[in-house]
Chains A and B, each alone.
Chain A
């Protein structure tokens, strides 16, 4: 093998290894979403993603936004997975309306939210920017046009839950779990 060809082959192999390593690292990071600290806030003791699951924030979003004809739709942006709506493909065959929302689905919900406006979310979470500047809040409150109408009502528990979660990066602030529990009780006639 001539030198230029040998060099080309070596470089290709090196690049392929680097890509493989990067993919592995990303996979590990995704799997550890709920066990590692998300470095977006001033408070080192809070886990943004962890609170999303453990404080019931995901459940509020699942109930208010995740119906099959809204964000529980495979063709829509900000896809939300839940037991009562769209399911992540699963080997157990759990369909809409069957079994509880899984950890993988909550993880996917978190990533849907985090990917919506990542820079603005960091500004709110880490630098105290106004949470009402986020589409996550503006849309369901209809502060900005929302085809699905008002998914949450101004002043209700769902709003309090989401705002407290978004502000929980500030030192001393915590997620309002009580509001999240009440906000997840939806729909209620």
Chain B
């Protein structure tokens, strides 16, 4: 009698645990990649200004922590190769393998993002960045990764300088007339590293 009451309860518990396990199933590569980016920088809320210079699509993809706001291409444009001061209103001009073109602009910390509702490119993508009369063309195509920072790292690891390159920049030095970025920006245009 007692056993007949316990067995259904045990079965229900096991079924519940199994369902919970399936529902919480996450791609370890994605979750690991997201965790490796560190915590949010203090004073910058989650949103269009956060995590400048980081690989956006690690989180902003299907199964990522920000899957509700997916991006197909996203990144940050800085003024100089040595300082991480975002360039406001820089154009990112892209052409995909089928010849479709899409242009977007950076916000005041230098971030830009393209949502799948705006453009669904077929990789590889050719890209150039521009502001006023300054144009820089990327040497090679973007092959498959929508995050600029996947290859353009904020800090190239000193023990492996052969597989990554520095962050994306438009000028050789500070932006003319705006050495510290946009003064009207709601967030600090000088990117800070995320705390661990």
Interface residues, chain A, with chain B CB atoms under 8 Å away: 63, 65-71, 73-74, 84-90, 93-97, 147-151, 153, 186-187, 189
Residues in A neighbouring B97, C-beta threshold 8 A:
149-150, 153
Choose one: B124, B150, B163, B164; the contact of A149 (CB below 8 Å).
B124
Contacts of B122 in A (CB 8 A): 149-150
A95 pairs with B143, CB closer than 8 A: no
Question: In residues 21-58 of chain B, which contact A (Cβ within 8 Å)?
Answer: none
Top-6 shortest CB links A-B: A70-B143, A69-B145, A68-B151, A87-B162, A67-B143, A187-B126
Main secondary structure of the interface of B (DSSP, over half): loop
CB neighbours (8 Å) of B124 from chain A are 67, 70, 148-151, 187
Chain A nearest Cβ from B73, distance in angstroms: 12
Q: Judge whether B151 and A87 touch: CB under 8 Å.
A: no
Size of the B side of the interface (Cβ < 8 Å), in residues, is 24
With known contacts A69-B150, A87-B163, A149-B144, A95–B95 Cβ distance under 8 A: no
**Whole-angstrom CA separation of A37 from B150 in the bound complex:** 40
User: Which residues of chain A have C-beta atoms less than 8 A from B162's C-beta?
Assistant: 86-90, 94-96
Contact A73–B163 (Cβ < 8 Å) = yes
- CB-based contact A187/B140 at 8 Å: yes
Q: Does the CB pair A67–B163 fall under 8 Å? A: no
- B128 proximal to A (CB < 8 A): yes
CB pair A189 B165 closer than 8 Å: no
* B102 is an interface residue with CB less than 8 A from chain A: no
Question: Please, how many angstroms separate the alpha-carbon atoms of A69 and B151 in the complex?
Answer: 7
Chain B: minimal CB distance from A82 (Å): 8
Judging by beta carbons under 8 Å apart, are B143 and A97 in contact?
no
CB-CB under 8 A from A95, the residues of chain B are 156, 161-162, 165
Please tell me which one of the listed residues A84, A86, A148 contacts residue B163 in the complex, with CB atoms under 8 A apart.
A86
Beyond the given A93-B161, A95-B165, A153-B97, please list 15 additional residue pairs across the A-B interface where CB-CB is below 8 A.
Answer: A65-B143, A67-B141, A68-B150, A68-B163, A69-B144, A69-B151, A87-B163, A90-B162, A96-B163, A97-B139, A147-B144, A148-B143, A149-B124, A149-B143, A189-B128
21 A-B Cβ contacts within 8 A?
Answer: A66-B140, A67-B140, A67-B142, A67-B143, A70-B124, A84-B139, A85-B140, A86-B162, A86-B163, A87-B162, A95-B162, A96-B163, A96-B164, A148-B144, A149-B124, A151-B143, A187-B124, A187-B138, A189-B95, A189-B128, A189-B137
Q: Which residues of A contact B165 (CB under 8 A)?
A: 68, 95-97
B171: interface (CB < 8 Å): no
Cβ–Cβ < 8 Å partners of B123 in chain A: 148-149
Chain A residues with Cβ under 8 A from B138's Cβ?
A: 187
Among B123, B137, B140, B163: residue with most chain A CB under 10 A? B140
Q: Is the CB of B164 within 8 A of A70?
A: no
Let me know if B163 and A74 touch, CB within 8 A: yes
**In the complex, A93 Cα to B142 Cα: how many Å?**
24
Docked complex Cα distance between A189 and B156 (Å): 29
User: Which residue among B97, B156, B162 has the maximum number of chain A CB atoms within 10 Å of its CB?
Assistant: B162
For A90, the closest partner residue in chain B by CB is B162
Distance A13 CA – B162 CA, assembled complex (angstroms) = 40
Residues in A neighbouring B156, C-beta threshold 8 A: 95
Instruction: Tell me the minimal C-beta distance from B82 to chain A in angstroms.
Output: 15
Complex Cα distance, B128 from A14, in Å, reads 61
Chain B residues with CB below 8 A from A187, complex form:
124, 126, 138, 140-141
How far does the alpha carbon of A132 sit from the alpha carbon of B26 in the complex, in Å? 38
Q: How far is the CA of A108 from the CA of B37 in the complex (A)?
A: 33
Residues of chain A within 8 A (CB-CB) of B144 are 69-70, 147-149
Residues of B within 8 A of A150 (CB): 97, 122, 124
